[in-house]
Amino acid sequence: MSSKKIAVFPGSFDPFTLGHLDIIERAIPLFDSIIVAIGTNATKKYMWTLEERKEIIEKALAAYPNVSAADYDGLTADFCKKHNAQFILRGLRNTKDFTYEQAIAQANEKVNGVDSVFLICSPEYAYISSSIVRDIARNNGDYYSLIP
């Protein structure tokens, strides 16, 4: 196992929000490097293309040399192994998020030996979700205060 502490922050990031950025900024001191892993799912209909999502993330993270972005297909745990990452970073807004993430985290640790690290989002971002941003965008609302 690598002596560097590498975390993968997976998601579809459709779109990348201030909540995502908050989690990454607060996780930077905990890890030597963080990879924002943009998952792709052929059956999912995205509002922003993979290229747009990756560009937005790279611009938002440009000031952080130990944070990078990459896209992937398949299992997050396989992506972690490929990049020698020992941790999966996840942000939690509420107990619903925790309940959803807990079983996934336990399976990833048991089956793949990858630990999950949860950070509770800052209170000022707890209401932001990508689905809310998409809904505002779909209805021609001003969502720019919710994204970097």
Comparing C-alpha atoms, which of 67, 81, 83 is closest to residue 30?
Answer: 67
CA distances from 119 to 19, 23, 30, 94, 111 (A): 11, 7, 11, 11, 22
- In sequence order, which ranges of the chain are alpha helices (DSSP H)? 18-27, 50-60, 76-82, 95-112, 130-138
Q: Please indicate whether residue 90 is annotated as part of the active site.
A: no
Of the candidates 20, 53, 54, 90, the residue annotated as catalytic is 20
Known active-site residue 20: yes
Nearest to 82 by CA among 35, 120, 126, 41: 35
**Active-site annotation holds for 5:** no
| β-bridge mates for residue 88, sequence order | 8, 116
Catalytic residue, candidates 81, 83, 93, 134: 93
Specify whether 130 is catalytic: yes
User: Which residues belong to the active site?
Assistant: 20, 44, 93, 130
